[in-house]
Structure 1
Amino acid sequence: MKLRVDQLEGQLKKQLAPVYIISGDEPFQVSQCCDQVRQYARAAGFSERHVYHVENNFDWGDFLATANSLSLFAEKQILEIRMPSGKPGDAGSKAFMEYTSHLSPDNLLLLITDRLDSTQQKAKWFQPLEKVGNFVAIWPVESAQLPTWLGQRLHSDGYRATPEALSLVAERVEGNLLAASQELEKLKLLAKDQTIDEETVRNSVADSARYDVYQLIDTALAGNTRQCIRILGVLKGEGLEPPIILWALAREVRLLSQLSRSLSRGLALDLAIDQSAKAMGFNAFLLKRRKGLLNKAITRHSERDFRAMLNASGNVDRCIKGIEKGNVWDQLLSLTLYLSGLPPMAVIR
């Protein structure tokens, strides 16, 4: 059964399904949905949890052995498979089909993937899982929808906000739902009589942190490596979460990569910005105000450099999620300095 994000909790309250597929490219909503499934599963007695990361040479036999290893007095268990690619391969497809043909009430399968396209949703491995479980496809919250999303989250916690306040928060977080959620938590502490107005938002100290994130990006584009080190140190000291910084860096690198490709095809920078803004959901007017900085970074780097930075962003993301080992802040620093013009350090190769 296909569910929207806002339908998931209602379904969980009625009855746990044996399989949940959480799919999407918006990390915050994916995390929230997975937390909901785990919460209701634990309340239903699923006290054990086994987590599998599907990479090259993943042992699907280990997953099936765990699924089939329960004895009469064993604990119920959550089998959590993190498969970003959405491609289990032949061995994984067979494992999923075998799993669904011998479902146990003591197992709950939680499959987490990046966004699955229509072809993947028609795959032989996917259809048996969806038939016995629930599929939650998560789409990014569009800019125009973000104030409504913010208002719904506040309302569910017993707060209300004026339209002006919601629009201002939406403008500040620029589509980053993790940053939005953290901003709302801080605003709730400042709210008077459970109400958040525009003045409350403007007085929020969270704005300084948000400004520094974007100051970090512009400083890197300008090539000021010394200032990059200082700003990143401030962000770390203030307790800003690494995913927010990574989101901002990766978003900028994807934009620069696309602009670089457009310029290599002979487009003028203004036209390239217009096309990239439309394709990626940026505000073209605001981008053109930063045209000088963008041009500096594009001139300084090759398309190959930007691809390397995107690969490095993926490495940092896996480190944040615990899939790979490494110091997240060291990797963020290396990525930032690479963008600012320094050669890539070994830590992000």
Structure 2
Amino acid sequence: MRVYPDQLSRHLNPLHACYLIFGDDPWLLETSKDQIRQAAKRQGFEERVQLIQETGFNWGDLTQEWQSMSLFSSRRIIELTLPNAKPGADGSAALQALLQTPNPDVLLILEGPKLASEQTNSKWFKTLDSLGIYLPCTTPEGDQFRRWLDSRITHFKLNLQPDARVMLYTLYEGNLLAADQAMQLLQLLSPSQPIGADELSHYFEDQSRFTVFQLTDALLNNRQDSAQHMLAQLNGEGTAMPILLWALFKELQLLLSLKSEQAQGAPLNSLFGKYRIWDKRKPLYQTALQRLSLTQIEHMLAFASKLELNLKQLGHEDWTGLSHLCLLFDPKAHGHLAHISLD
């Protein structure tokens, strides 16, 4: 049964046997999966198995997971990614066979790219669609986008004036991820104050200009020249330092968690699932984790904490210190900047 993402909450209690999440909008794909996972957890689905249809994928593995008993006596979610949304003859047969022998203790989630009519008319899809929920996650446009944005404004409890809403519509139509990140920052800065277009213009720029999130991406990729240029421009445009520190803290704390658990033997792919890291961002974290040691990440967090303390207690916006913190995303800088003190 076809259900649009904004209607998903009505189809989670009780859960259906399977959910088919296909589309080209990363925000809708990820939030839809999160909603299903949270609902499943409330209904006793504690385990999660992730499979990807790669070259040489054995469909027997999926059947075995479907039929096997849980090691922990809990219900289980199987998440299967179909990168091309083409399971082939073996996969088509396996998927149809699974749903013909329902297992109330297993929930199946399929995900992949936007489907063409060739796929939605296939036998495997029609079988699963008749027994589960199909979520087409395509980016909303026009009035649909405005309704989506209004719902997120309500979610974040923002007090936006009509002219500010129009500005958000104009700046972010077609980019749900950027729009959602923008509203996260607005909530941080002005959780209840009325915000008009004039105030909004101080916080955000057109998509062609640098943003805080572009800065963190550059740092994770160790593109230091670009990152330092972005930082200088963000400073020149009056970007509030608490926003930048918040963004860097968020990335460093995530890197620390990933690095610590990876050192204890946890597979990186399972950690990406645990911390809800989107596919497009996984290479950024892989690069950073290969480059930085646990000790270096801990040092960077301590450095960031000192910057924040100086800002809160002394009102001191140390842009030089912030630049040094950004440089520390390059492991070579740790030796050169070891003598730097913020006391």
Per-residue CA distance 1:228-258 (angstroms, 9 max, x = gap): 862245559955899xxxxxxxxxxxxxxxx
Deviation, structure 1 residue 187: 1.0
Q: Specify the alignment match of 2:10 in structure 1.
A: 10
2:209 alignment partner, one of 208, 211, 220: 211
3-state SS of 1:52 partner: strand
Runs (4 or more) in structure 1 with deviation over 6 Å come to none
Query: For residues 81 and 140 of structure 1, do their structure 2 counterparts lie closer, same or farther at Cα, with a shift above 3 Å needed?
Result: same
Q: Does 1:231 align with 2:230?
A: no
3-state SS of 1:207 partner: coil
Q: Take 2:151 and 2:230, find their aligned partners in 1: how far apart are those partners?
A: 29
Q: Take 1:148 and 1:72, find their aligned partners in 2: how far apart are those partners?
A: 44
Deviation, structure 1 residue 44: 0.5
Per-residue CA distance 1:76-95 (angstroms, 9 max, x = gap): 00000111211001111111
TM-score where L is the length of structure 1: 0.61
Deviation, structure 1 residue 75: 1.5
Q: Specify the alignment match of 2:197 in structure 1.
A: 198
1:327 alignment partner, one of 287, 294, 300: 287
Query: For residues 100 and 145 of structure 1, do their structure 2 counterparts lie closer, same or farther at Cα, with a shift above 3 Å needed?
Result: closer
Q: Does 1:130 align with 2:129?
A: yes
Q: Is the 8 A contact 2:171 2:207 kept in 1?
A: no
Q: Is the 8 A contact 1:151 1:160 kept in 2?
A: no
Q: Take 1:183 and 1:325, find their aligned partners in 2: how far apart are those partners?
A: 22
The worse-fitting range, judged by mean Cα deviation, of 55-64 and 68-77 is 68-77
Q: Take 2:66 and 2:99, find their aligned partners in 1: how far apart are those partners?
A: 11
Q: Take 2:231 and 2:83, find their aligned partners in 1: how far apart are those partners?
A: 28
Q: Take 2:191 and 2:34, find their aligned partners in 1: how far apart are those partners?
A: 30
Query: For residues 136 and 236 of structure 1, do their structure 2 counterparts lie closer, same or farther at Cα, with a shift above 3 Å needed?
Result: farther
3-state SS of 2:94 partner: helix
Q: Take 1:31 and 1:229, find their aligned partners in 2: how far apart are those partners?
A: 29
Query: For residues 329 and 115 of structure 1, do their structure 2 counterparts lie closer, same or farther at Cα, with a shift above 3 Å needed?
Result: farther
Query: For residues 169 and 54 of structure 1, do their structure 2 counterparts lie closer, same or farther at Cα, with a shift above 3 Å needed?
Result: same
Q: Take 1:50 and 1:200, find their aligned partners in 2: how far apart are those partners?
A: 46
Deviation, structure 1 residue 156: 3.2
Query: For residues 170 and 234 of structure 1, do their structure 2 counterparts lie closer, same or farther at Cα, with a shift above 3 Å needed?
Result: farther
Q: Which amino acid aligns with 2:3?
A: L
Query: For residues 194 and 119 of structure 1, do their structure 2 counterparts lie closer, same or farther at Cα, with a shift above 3 Å needed?
Result: farther
Deviation, structure 1 residue 72: 9.8
TM-score where L is the length of structure 2: 0.62
Q: Which amino acid aligns with 2:75?
A: K
Identity among equivalent positions (%) equals 30
Which consecutive residues of structure 1, in runs of 5 or more, have no partner in the other structure? 217-227, 243-316, 331-349
The worse-fitting range, judged by mean Cα deviation, of 146-155 and 86-95 is 146-155
3-state SS of 2:39 partner: helix
3-state SS of 2:46 partner: strand
Give runs of aligned pairs for residues 249-328 of structure 1, distance below 5 A. 320-321=281-282, 326-327=286-287
Superposed CA RMSD? 3.4
Per-residue CA distance 1:191-240 (angstroms, 9 max, x = gap): 36454322331221x43996126xx9xxxxxxxxxxx8622455599558
Q: Specify the alignment match of 1:260 in structure 2.
A: none
Query: For residues 111 and 102 of structure 1, do their structure 2 counterparts lie closer, same or farther at Cα, with a shift above 3 Å needed?
Result: same
Q: Take 1:32 and 1:318, find their aligned partners in 2: how far apart are those partners?
A: 13
Q: Take 1:26 and 1:167, find their aligned partners in 2: how far apart are those partners?
A: 22
Per-residue CA distance 1:110-136 (angstroms, 9 max, x = gap): 111111122211111111111111011
Q: Is the 8 A contact 1:162 1:198 kept in 2?
A: yes
Query: For residues 71 and 27 of structure 1, do their structure 2 counterparts lie closer, same or farther at Cα, with a shift above 3 Å needed?
Result: closer
Q: How many residues align?
A: 242
Q: Specify the alignment match of 1:225 in structure 2.
A: none
Per-residue CA distance 1:21-43 (angstroms, 9 max, x = gap): 11110011110101000000011
Q: Which amino acid aligns with 1:85?
A: N
Q: Take 1:199 and 1:145, find their aligned partners in 2: how far apart are those partners?
A: 25
Deviation, structure 1 residue 320: 2.9
Give runs of aligned pairs for residues 66-105 of structure 1, distance below 5 A. 66-70=65-69, 74-105=73-104
